[in-house]
Chain A
Amino acid sequence: MELHAQTIEQLHEQLIQKTIKPSDILDSVYKRIEAVEPAVKAYLMLTKELAYAMAKSAEERIMNNDNVTEITGIPIGLKDNMCLDGYETTCAAQMLKGYKPPYTATALEKLQRAGAVFTGKLNMDEFAFGSSTENSSFHTTCNPYDISRVPGGSSGGSAAAVAADMCIAALGSDTGGSIKQPAGLCNVTGIRPTYGRVSRYGLIAFGSSLDQIGPMTKTVRDNAILLKYLAGLDEKDSTSAPIAVPDYLKNLRSDIKGMKIGLPKEYFIDGMDAEVKSKVMDAVRTLQDAGARVEEISMPHTEYALDVYYVVAPAEASSNLARFDGVQYGYRDTTADNMIDMYKKSRAKGFGRETKRRIMLGTYVLSSGYYDAYYKKAQKVRTLIKQDFDRAFANVDVILTPTSPTTAFKIGEKAADPLTMYLSDIFTIAPNMAGMPGISVPAGFDSKGLPIGMQVMAAPFAEQAIYDLTAFYQQKTNWHLQKPRL
């Protein structure tokens, strides 16, 4: 198998055996990018020079046996909302076109320290507002399994690049489902860690009580490897958790006997795609046959999660995006002759339609007279949603659901109607509102050959249980090994 098509684990083995060099992997990855990027359009920018310099230093570490980690020499793609010192970081927004941050995000610094190699910056919905990459102000990424369809979003570039072997793994970020939903639509394994597990320092903020960085990989085992290097307390992010990071891969259970899986009836609703439901139920049977115990549970406030999210997330976004004012960095309109007009014109031209819509929605629900009716009300219902999860996890180890109600939709199909688009995140939003970790893993294909994702969630900081179950599932199935025909 060509190097670009392999996993972190497989490549690491050959690197330490010294049968290949980091630059060999990089050559293979960039060759692959050259071949398929014109069809997929996952990247916004390649960082070739930096990547080869990083590969060189990784090679030296390996030759000298100096602090070699499982990701030393592994090419990783970065979602373009994570700051990398001196390299354009745009959030796929005109507002930040050309912006080169003067510092590096902690998550990226940690990967750098472990010897990883950065292939480039990946496409996304502008400021992570969206579920399809159609809101990118540069271009739309295509789903590698059917290039007339979306890859999901907002981390659609990351999911498509991993699926198409244009990097060995990628980083995404997830606020309402932006790692899990595209992972599901592109046959990739993507985890949204517990809120607080990975430092948000240097991640351009969308919803500060919701945002998390997480790894998107070809296997659960690779995912477990990468999270170990990303996670942990960071003094630059006071919301990062002072909780020890386990060696998830080493700790993986060899079986799942006795694990308790909850199936919330509210996630298997009428009107959802029948093929999605049937494949996810197949997966449940596979796990049951291996000794897992399955029970139906109820999470009665699920139906309100989307409404809570579309109050809380825009409210936080409207505050966070106030920083884009044309003063210290970012786009400035030069035609205005006073400060207020300069703000208004810069923001009007620098932000895309969905960004403006969310800023206005957030401003409205926080404004005097509506704060109690919308913002405070939503945060109260958020408590009820969290209580649903707390109650469930008192009885089960993990909760299993489909990742999305449908498989990948056509480019343009939902772009005109924001509400329909928002509904594609309906299954990922509730656990995010409650701060719970969750993964999406491949669970099969529909009759059109489009990937179906299965979401597995656990209690806060119980990522190990998620990995235990899903790594076992990938031993029993090979959905995750089926590559797109490009």
Chain B
Amino acid sequence: MVITRKDVEYIAHLSRLEITEQEAEQYTKELSDILEHINRLSKLNTDNVEPTYFTMDMKNVTRSDVVKPSIDKQKVFVAAPSIENNGFKVPKII
């Protein structure tokens, strides 16, 4: 196994995903298989190669700073699970 069950539990936490015991087991095996395949990349020498994060030859794209109307607030709230006083309502944070 390339990664352990403990790794999987930690990644699940970082990913904000609750997983069951059985899922932790399964993901450990599946992710290990995939990572093992991916490890073939380490065979290649890339010492003098620049990474390609983006395939187009583009520099920063800017636009003029003009105020434009945005989507109506009430229209956006329609899709919200919970709202109060013109804001999204969430459970306790601290």
Contacts and interface: CB of A to CB of B under 8 A. Distances in A.
Contacts of B81: 326-327, 329-332, 334
Given A238-B61, A241-B56, A327-B90, A344 B31 contact: no
Contacts of B30: 357, 418
A121 B88 CA distance: 29
A363 interface: yes
B91 A339 contact: yes
A382 B52 contact: yes
Nearest to A237: B61
A383 interface: yes
Contacts of B76: 102, 328
Interface stretch (A51-59, A303-311, A465-473): A303-311
A378 B54 CA distance: 13
Contact of B14 (A301, A331, A367): A367
Contact of B49 (A351, A383, A419): A383
Given A102-B71, A336-B91, A418-B30, A384 B46 contact: yes
Contacts of A380: 46, 49-52
Contacts of A357: 27, 30-31
Nearest to B53: A379
Nearest to A355: B17
A419 B15 contact: no
B38 A310 contact: yes
Contacts of B86: none
A345 B18 contact: yes
Given A339-B93, A376-B51, A304 B56 contact: no
Interface in A120-156: none
B62 to A, nearest CB: 9
Contact of A325 (B16, B35, B72, B92): B16
Nearest to A435: B55
Nearest to B51: A379
Contacts of B40: 304, 307
Contact of B44 (A360, A367, A384, A386): A384
Interface string B77-94: 011111000001011110
Interface residues of B, number: 50
B27 A327 contact: no
Given A337-B92, A377-B42, A100 B78 contact: yes
Interface in A450-468: 460
B56 A239 contact: yes
A456 B30 CA distance: 33
B51 A360 contact: no
B65 to A, nearest CB: 13
B37 to A, nearest CB: 6
Given A307-B37, A307-B40, A357-B27, A339 B17 contact: no
B34 A361 contact: yes
Contacts of B27: 356-357, 360
A342 interface: yes
Contact of A364 (B3, B33, B71, B72): B3
B37 A435 contact: no
Contact of B17 (A100, A342, A356, A418): A356
B15 A339 contact: no
B34 A419 contact: yes
Contacts of A342: 90-91
10 contacts: A102-B71, A307-B38, A329-B80, A357-B31, A360-B8, A360-B12, A361-B31, A377-B42, A422-B34, A460-B56
Given A99-B79, A308-B41, A383-B50, 19 more contacts: A101-B79, A304-B41, A307-B40, A310-B37, A318-B15, A327-B90, A341-B91, A343-B16, A344-B17, A348-B17, A360-B8, A361-B34, A364-B7, A367-B14, A379-B51, A381-B46, A383-B46, A384-B49, A435-B56
